[in-house]
Chains A and B, each alone.
Chain A
Amino acid sequence: LQPPEKPLQDVEWNRLRESFQSPEIFEEVMFNSMIRCNSPLDVAKSLLTHVAKRNGDIAYSLLVKYVALCVQQGQTSEIQDVYDIMKTRFKILESGAYNLFIRGLSNSDQWRRALTLLEEVKKIMVPSRTNYESCIKAASSHKEMKLAFELYHEMLAKDLVPTLDILHTLFDFSRGMKDAELQKELFGVLLYLRENQIYPHKTFMRSIKLWFESIPGGNWKGHLTHITESGRCPVCNHQLEDSNLTEEEYNNLRERIIRDVIHGTDTFRKTSPQEFEAFQTFVENRLPFDIVVDGLNVSHIKPRKMQCENLLDAVNCLAKGNVRLLVLGRKHMLMNSSNWKREIMKEMQNKADFFFAENISEDDAFLLYATLQSGKHCKFVTRDFLRDHKACLSDSLTRQLFRKWQRGHQMSKKTFLSVFLQQPAFQYDCVVQTTGDTWHIPYKDNFEEKYSYQVPRKWLCIQQK
């Protein structure tokens, strides 16, 4: 359905309507296509007039669609008019209309009205984060940074996750302002990035850099760089934070793993209490291990080879240099079969400690337990991303701890497959970090696809001269 190019008379609308296959929804369909084609406002007005004359009233949904058209074309006075009309006609409005009004008004010189609308929304529901985004953008583009930050804190208090755009705007419009309070707020934003392990994209990073360099009298200087494996920044020669958890975090994580992952709602789902107890005493008697291996996972690395040979290769490789190895497996590995030769299994058991779980138990849970119990130096080997176990953890904070610990202690697939390098990929922690006179901010390219388990390799180094 193609919308007309000029306003039509009643007769003509009637004719169009009759020719449409289902006249009841003609106006709706027509408005939708007007929005799609971005038709001139006059055409829409003439249709509204036609409807008003015929029915003496205009349906709410049509008005909302008209507002959408107005917002699309930035017709502020018209938006306000419709708002007044709708306000007198209906007791309250629903979220869709409010979204449109807030978006439309925040882009105009009437942006303060968007704030009053936000107040109205708060009375009936929790505003969406895009509502806040419009208002914060409007406030900061009019240099009302204080107001913008008030709104920002308000949305954080409501458990809304700010879009990267919001944070970006805050930096963009604070450029060149000399205000200690404001500076503190923006450092707060950077710490928010740190706490939630958010990585800014390139344009956002630029805006952070420019802001730092624009602080009057701050003498900040930013450089783009890559950090070496050892975690030393090549620009300022500063050593980044290491990836180890603190004592408290470590204990916390260990307790949560036992509680949420191994026991969960029912210990029997992953193991059984007897088996877990047996495993616990087994581990206690032989502590501490240096490397814990997920035997079944490792045995599938090369599909052409016999499974026990794969495992033997891994054990031989890892057992060099006097490390204490623990290999986890299942009982079926002990049965002499085409894939599991008894002699080879015997040979391996001389080089490493083995624990065989029941065939229907989850060995991953044991893997986590043994590694955590052995202490901070202990690493584990598996190609599994352990996503399902991470998902068992009940709060996001512990999940982040888990990810951080995993990054530092899991021997990654690549290093493992090539040369069994005995070091994890990251010795340093990949988050926004500061020492007061330096800031290090990891960032990613604008359209870079990044998996959640990957961390960016590019960094912004900012130091104060």
Chain B
Amino acid sequence: MQSANSLLKKIVRSSVLPFAAQHGMKKDFFPLSRTLSSSLCLKQDKSCSPSEKLDLDEWKKVMKSGVQEEVGEVVSEQKELSSSAGAREILEMWRLAGRLVPENITEEQLKAFTECPSKSAQKKYLKFLYLKELYKKNDKRKMDKKRERRLETQEQAAKTDETKRNSFICLWSNSMDRAYNWRVAQSMVFGQPLVFDMSYEKDMSVREVANTVRQLVLSEGCNRRAVDPFHIHFCNLKTDSLYQKEFLKHYREAWGRLLVTATEQCYTEVFPKDKLIYLTADSPRVMKRFDHNKIYIVGSMVDKSIKTGVSLARAKRLGLETAALPLEKYLLWNTGAKNLTLDQMMQILLTLKDTGDWKKALEFVPKRKYCGFVSKPVHELKKTLNLMNTLKLGKKQEEIRKQFAKNYSKKLIQK
């Protein structure tokens, strides 16, 4: 392509005159414009380089000449543009225009793209794909570098050729896994159950379900590595549901060997009702301490569009006890919603189970969401926070903050 272009360029330069004449375009008439521009140059500006001939429209000729041969095939192709091919073309043009569009796109993704309900949805989806591609590429690059470095060190090691002696047995991940599995297996017999309620599929979009399962996989991993794991129950998990499909995507054949209980039954059928506690951020009741005799339920739901009260409604319907984490009591909350990801919940519950120490457990709440732990009564802390802000920001800000605090407390009372 490149060589062909440069060849064409040469042709253009050598034979512009007949070419332009043939197309009958007056303003592309090369010698005319050359004399024009050069004379202008002489008259106006002597610093303009002596080699003159600044033909401002030369690029047009290059562009026009570059395509002459392609035109034929373009016409023939245009007739049979199916919708997906058309979408592909648009994407290609958007990429050329510098929008955030992935380089490669599969048929499946293309279908999802054409099914997007609005222009902004399309844009968002494309950006998502673009970023995904970018991360993948970066990861691959890093991996390659790592491999190179490893090979290098191996070579060096081979050169020095030192026999290693070590009195400890080398514990490979394989044997670690076996140890972990042993513990989880024990917990499946004697351990405290922890229920994930898998009945929120219709409240979520496809992407939210995918995110949920990802978080569940992470939580399962945390649990496996814990000193005293929970016995995880996936309740209400219907076969051939979207959850199940996503699980299979993550675990492949390991899904069958996974040391968890997955059931289509509801938790109310598996466990006695009075032992169940549904954990939800909307609950009016705040958890005081971790109870080892209760069975906690966590809703497997990622809620990007803030649907309040969905899990509380579920608990209400079944007449279960509910509880929320005492986030307000222990943390000076800053921003963000009080609902946490499933793996964070898992970490917190595991820590609580082991130590019963709220401070340690709430370390797993993302740092951006809170300013610090509450050591004094909350109103005192707020006072110092306000004082600091006045010193930092001046008086006006302080008033705004006061107003906000007032409204905020009012809201709390009303609730």
Residues of A within 8 A of B (CB): 6-7, 9, 11-12, 28, 42, 45-46, 48-49, 51-53, 55-61, 64, 81, 85, 88-97, 124-126, 128, 265-266, 268-270, 272, 296-297, 300, 303, 359-360
Contact = CB atoms under 8 A, between A and B. Distances in A.
B28 to A, nearest CB: 9
A57 B313 contact: no
B6 A56 contact: yes
A53 B66 CA distance: 12
Contacts of A52: 58-59, 62-63
B56 A57 contact: no
A51 to B, nearest CB: 7
Contact of B63 (A89, A94, A125): A89
Interface residues of B, number: 49
A96 B96 CA distance: 11
A11 B6 CA distance: 19
B156 interface: no
B60 interface: yes
B93 A93 contact: yes
A428 to B, nearest CB: 33
B160 interface: no
B9 A89 contact: no
Interface in B146-194: none
B86 A53 contact: no
B300 to A, nearest CB: 17
Contacts of B77: 91
Given A46-B56, A52-B58, A269-B313, A91 B78 contact: yes
A307 to B, nearest CB: 9
A360 B58 CA distance: 75
Interface string B60-74: 101110110001001
Contacts of B313: 266, 268-269
B48 A6 contact: yes
Contact of B58 (A6, A49, A95, A300): A49
A49 B308 CA distance: 59
Given A58-B59, A300-B410, A46 B314 contact: no
A275 B51 CA distance: 92
Interface in B120-138: none
A58 B78 contact: no
B66 A89 contact: yes
Contacts of B203: 265
A64 B64 CA distance: 16
17 contacts: A6-B48, A11-B49, A42-B56, A52-B62, A53-B9, A59-B96, A61-B98, A81-B60, A90-B93, A90-B96, A92-B90, A96-B97, A124-B86, A125-B90, A265-B203, A268-B314, A359-B284
B59 A124 contact: no
Given A49-B58, A266-B310, A9 B49 contact: yes
A76 B2 CA distance: 32
B45 interface: yes
B49 A360 contact: no
A12 B96 CA distance: 27
Most buried by A among B6, B59, B64, B309: B59
B89 interface: yes
B54 interface: yes
B97 A49 contact: no
B55 interface: yes
B413 A64 contact: no
Contacts of A126: 119
Contacts of A90: 93, 96
Contact of A85 (B2, B48, B64): B64
A295 B309 CA distance: 23
Per CB-CB distance, the 10 closest pairs between chain A and chain B, nearest first, are: A56-B5, A268-B313, A60-B96, A94-B93, A52-B59, A45-B56, A52-B62, A48-B59, A269-B313, A269-B309
B66 A57 contact: yes
A56 B93 contact: no
A31 B314 CA distance: 58
Nearest to A359: B284
A270 B56 CA distance: 70
B5 A57 contact: yes
Given A48-B59, A124-B86, A125-B90, A268 B97 contact: no
B94 interface: yes
A45 B62 contact: no
A59 B57 CA distance: 16
Contacts of B284: 359-360
B317 interface: yes
B295 interface: no
Interface in B1-18: 2, 5-6, 8-9
A27 to B, nearest CB: 12
Contact of A56 (B54, B66, B119, B406): B66
Contacts of A97: 97
A362 to B, nearest CB: 9
A126 B90 CA distance: 13
Nearest to B322: A360
Given A56-B8, A88-B67, A268-B312, 11 more contacts: A49-B56, A58-B63, A60-B93, A90-B96, A94-B97, A97-B97, A265-B203, A266-B317, A303-B406, A303-B410, A359-B284
B97 A91 contact: no
B395 interface: no
A261 to B, nearest CB: 13
B414 interface: yes
Contacts of B308: 269
Contacts of A266: 310, 313, 317
B316 interface: yes
Contact of B312 (A88, A128, A269): A269
Interface string B31-63: 000000000000001001101001111111011
B126 to A, nearest CB: 12
B414 A269 contact: no
A333 to B, nearest CB: 12
Nearest to A42: B56
Contacts of B67: 88-89
